[in-house]
Amino acid sequence: MSVIPEFDIPVLERLCEVLADTSTGLTGSEIGKLLGQLGVDDPLPGMTKRVRLFEALTQRQQRDRCGNLVVAFIHEAMKPVRHTGSPQWFHAKREELNKPLAFAGYELREDGRLKACNAAKTLTEAEQRADRLRAALERRGVHGDVLRFCRAELLQNNYFHAVLEATKSVADKIRARTGLTGDGAELADEALALGKTGMPFLAFNSLRIESEQSEQKGLLNLMKGMFGTFRNPTAHAPKVSWNMTEQDALDLLTMASFLHRRLDSAARTPRAA
């Protein structure tokens, strides 16, 4: 790991508050175990969790004159494999951590690793961006399942993450309406393709005439195109750093809204029963 600059004390304080929150943070034994695993001294084991963690990481950062061990602690604490039994905890903590991390120029990704990003300069910067995007989408009458992804923490770096999360929500809706367990383009094919029987799990119309079948195929291809572009960021790593404009985000989120509405009105066929 390259040398990482020391974290400002206010940022480090807030990170420790999130990780060692009295009711939702790591337990005292978990903090002690992680510190020991990383070879970090634990000078105040009898203090409150927040103070204990802050003092341990502050002293180590001052000794090393870099923030590498702070990053190593976050990486260990937020390893996804540790939280397979409590994914809601992982996602909630990730969102909380990304707020102070944004001021240090970092973002905690879904794989539990930090990625450099443009540092936020003001508290209102990301919130204003989110409010502006939400207002524009509300004027368009965008589906409520899309609006909930216009959150400040998703827009601290760029608009890509809001679009990515909205795209995931389309896949979630297909799974909820069909009982299927796949993902991405494969899920869309399984749920919406006519196949040999001519009967998909979800039908956008009666499928009785050629034009109706063409509509079914067209909507399937539109959905597959969206999934292919956004659904798998690890397979399309350069796209995560797209400099997506606000207009791009508006158009793409509107497309996700259109697909949500069509899925809401689609009929479940006997295959989905």
Q: pLDDT tens string for the chain (273 positions)?
A: 689 999 999 999 999 999 999 999 999 999 999 999 999 999 999 999 999 999 999 999 999 999 999 999 999 999 999 999 998 899 889 888 988 888 888 888 889 999 887 777 766 666 666 777 888 888 899 998 998 887 766 676 578 888 888 999 999 999 999 999 989 899 999 999 998 788 999 999 999 999 999 999 999 999 999 988 876 544 444 445 566 788 888 999 999 999 999 999 999 998 866
Q: Are 61 and 7 in contact (CB under 8 A)?
A: yes
Q: How do the domains of the chain map onto residue ranges?
A: 9-116, 123-272
Residue with token string 């990301």: 126
Q: Residue 29 contacts by C-beta under 8 Å, 6 or more apart in sequence?
A: none
Q: How far is CA 147 from the centre of its chain?
A: 15
Cβ neighbours, 10 Å, residue 137:
20
pTM over 0.85: no
Is residue 216 within 8 Å of residue 168, measured between CB atoms? no
